[in-house]
Structure 1
Amino acid sequence: SRLGGRIAVENRPEGGARVRLELPAATWARGGTADAAVPLPDLSQMKVLVAEDNPTSQMIVGQMLTRMGAEHAIAEDGDEALHWLEREAFDLALIDIEMPRMSGIEVIRTLRTMTLANRKMPVIAVTAYVMRANRDAIYAAGADAILPKPLPAIEVFGKAISDALCRTGSLRGEQAPPPPPEMNRATFDRLIAIAGPEATNELLDRLDLDLRQARTGLMSGIEAQDRNAIRAQTHVLIALAGAVGAERLQSLAQTLNEQAHLDQPFDHAAGDEALPLLETLIGFVAAERAARRARP
């Protein structure tokens, strides 16, 4: 991560999950430094549905949304969430996966069959279960993003919301964000120039699809330590990252690819760094798509 730390998550036999976070002392000790605060998205004039059965979590999420300027409504279970969606229009939904009466997955699956607005509405799932099988089921139901429990700091929470809104073209009054610092914008602009105005949208659509497929395949390969899958997905990722100027991601993909070819011990640090960079790149490409489609 940007703080130089590592996080590990594992399911506990008796239920729930165990999370271990390791951070260099300099990032939290008195006098240490960390990155500047990430600006929060402006959600004024936006209405958010929060489907969450825990009162404490309801309060925390509500306070964070209020700080971002959003109006919000609370649903205490899945049935109430669907009743809200039938009565009112929302710009975003935060859905807890483990709820009484109807699970979050059922809620997401159902809302994606409702009105056109609900089918297009950005949905962020919130869950304590973050293993691959759980993630796959949540994305398959129609979620746009997943946030782990316990909820992260407001800056991380805000970025997740901003990314989800950008991916669906729902962030009002904003242009596409600047590229991440790990990316060479000039390389990306050259690629767009080569495509030309007529083919740029198709190029970004294909790039978005290919990056998402690479993310899914690489996550599965890393979790299973499947060298064939890692080799295949990093081969694709080397080309994609290089084409758009994501130089650090390209370098990490090359490292993982070489290790998979040579049967070297798996470098968890490279994988841990590559996946967040890939997620950031997906968000950037999605925001570019949305911004270009919004232009007259």
Structure 2
Amino acid sequence: MAMHDDELHIDEQLARRLIIDQFPEWRLERFRRMTTDGTVNAIFRIGADLTARFPLRSANPTDMRAELAREAAAMRELSEYCPVATPSPVALGDPGFGYPLPWTLQTWIHGTVATPHHLAHSEMFAHDLVDLIRSLRAADTKGRHFAGSGRGGDLHDSDAWMEVCFRESDGLLPVNRLRALWAEFRSLPKVASDAMTHGDLIPGNLLVEDDRLVGVLDGGGFAPADPSLDLVAAWHMLDDERRSVLRSELACGDVEWWRGAAWAFQQAMGLVWYYRETNPGMSTLGQTTLTRILNDPALSAPISARPGARQSVAHGDD
């Protein structure tokens, strides 16, 4: 079942034809489609060391080519600061055989894809996430600022999308409680300058071995944003105690921490209903994250009633 109304068809046979036609040096390698919860690309492994990634949603080919070039530059920049392995761009493929968009070849990173629960109780994994977020934040923004209106910018920009999510989630989630929480989240001021962030630290973009982080995927979104954006990793993957460890080590103030919860909330709300039938893994991730946010002791009292929040609102730059 297709995940998107505008989803493109790309199967193993078509991917193989495109790869062999344009990159014959890999014609003798084994090709196989990877089963993932990913929603943006169809991914095929080529031999032991490469992957081909084909965009799943219809787009203007010229715009997509520019976007893939931008992502490749971001991936190269990410690799300079990421404390663990991350894929490197190898080549850009062209449309062909009925597939209408450019596509990419990247290096393969070994590891097991993280899950919302498997390492939730691991102190070592929490420390690895701290090291990752701290390392990415240390990268030079080079005078750049957040560009766009999605996650990592102004929380108010998500109001219309949240309204869609609340409407579509009626009967699936405790919508009244979630509406009330979003009303508080959206009022949180931005309290720190933009920093470099991965932008999508969900379980599917992290690779682990035992209880250690060994790889970071999908680095094409590495860019300046609200520094609290990468705190979504704590809500997607850690239990209460390990979230406290991460918060303490990153020295997050109240509003920064709550904004991280707000970005995780914004992301999770869209996952539950949109992927309920077509991608159960992503839908379950959304449910898990929202449950952690709703049950978190630090968020049990109204945010707006707390002295730290009132002071930050008074001095915030929103």
Fold-level match, TM-score > 0.5?
no
Q: TM-score, normalised by structure 2?
A: 0.27
Q: TM-score, normalised by structure 1?
A: 0.28
Identify the structure with bigger relative contact order (alpha carbons < 8 Å, sequence gap 6+). Answer: 2
Richer in helix (by share): 1
